[in-house]
């Protein structure tokens, strides 16, 4: 839609102007459009990752290279595709949520990954703080509030082995294109969502 004009290539649209007036036919149209839109999510993620290029934020490498380096290290260490995709996307929230980037990344991956990997992405910023919070007058042990959680060590390993190591300008990262097939496989079929019938029935 541009300036209120309907896209002529889109033939079917819901007829209601308020949701209270919607019909099953309307929502079948919307569901079909949503499914088509969802299939292109990996492409939009690639485009958004490219927004991280050139933004160093004071670091030795830019944010895209950090993401690629983290994912490359995880891939080379033999982590599975879902884990590698989480490594690739863990800082994708930096552009729109510089104060809560982990929350944004976690929200994006949540429908598509295990609860364990979602928890890792959601909490990695606090765990990463162990390596630098004390330099900023903050509590580097903030992660200890989660000690005893089943995924504490799992997340600590992600940060120690992959994330905090991934600021090396001399490291040979895999190109973004190499991760596109993985991204497509992991981020194309949701495992859970309020919009899935199996989830709604729980």
pLDDT band at 17 (very low <50, low <70, confident <90, very high): very high
> What average pLDDT does this structure show over 23-37?
91
42-186 CATH pick, 3.20.20.190, 3.30.565.10, 1.10.3210.10, 3.40.50.300: 1.10.3210.10
Determine the pLDDT at residue 196: 84
> What average pLDDT does this structure show over 30-41?
90
Query: 191 Cβ partners below 8 Å, 6+ apart?
Result: 111, 112, 113, 114
Q: Are 45 and 89 in contact (CB under 8 A)?
A: yes
pLDDT band at 11 (very low <50, low <70, confident <90, very high): low
Q: 4-18, 45-59, 156-170: which range is least confident on average?
A: 4-18
Q: Does 96 score more than 70 pLDDT?
A: yes
Q: Does 201 score more than 60 pLDDT?
A: no
CB atoms within 10 A of CB 85: 28
> What average pLDDT does this structure show over 135-156?
98
Determine the pLDDT at residue 2: 41
Determine the pLDDT at residue 10: 54
Determine the pLDDT at residue 9: 58
Q: Are 52 and 39 in contact (CB under 8 A)?
A: no
Determine the pLDDT at residue 197: 79
> What average pLDDT does this structure show over 76-102?
97
Mean pLDDT of the chain: 92
Report the C-alpha gap between 18 and 68 in whole angstroms.
44
pLDDT band at 198 (very low <50, low <70, confident <90, very high): low
Query: 155 Cβ partners below 8 Å, 6+ apart?
Result: 119, 120, 123, 124, 127, 146
- Angle among Cα 84, 86, 88 to the nearest 5 degrees reads 70
Q: Does 4 score more than 80 pLDDT?
A: no
């Amino acid at each position: 839609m541009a300036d209120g004009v309907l896209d002529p290539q889109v033939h079917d649209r819901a007829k209601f102007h308020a949701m209270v007036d919607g019909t099953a036919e309307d929502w079948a149209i919307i569901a079909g459009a949503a499914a088509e839109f969802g299939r292109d999510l990996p492409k939009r993620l690639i485009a958004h990752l490219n927004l991280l290029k050139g933004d160093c934020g004071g670091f030795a490498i830019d944010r895209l290279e950090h993401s690629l380096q983290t994912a490359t290290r995880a891939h080379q260490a033999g982590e599975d595709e879902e884990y590698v995709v989480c490594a690739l996307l863990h800082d994708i929230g930096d552009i729109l949520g510089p104060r809560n980037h982990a929350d944004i990344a976690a929200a994006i991956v949540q429908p598509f990954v295990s609860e364990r990997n979602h928890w890792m992405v959601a909490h990695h910023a606090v765990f990463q703080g162990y390596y630098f919070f004390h330099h900023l007058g903050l509590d580097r042990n903030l992660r200890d509030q989660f000690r005893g959680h089943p995924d504490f060590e799992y997340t600590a390993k992600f940060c120690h082995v992959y994330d905090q190591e991934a600021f090396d300008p001399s490291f040979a990262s895999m190109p973004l294109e190499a991760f596109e097939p993985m991204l497509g496989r992991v981020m194309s079929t949701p495992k859970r969502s309020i919009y899935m019938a199996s989830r709604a029935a729980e």
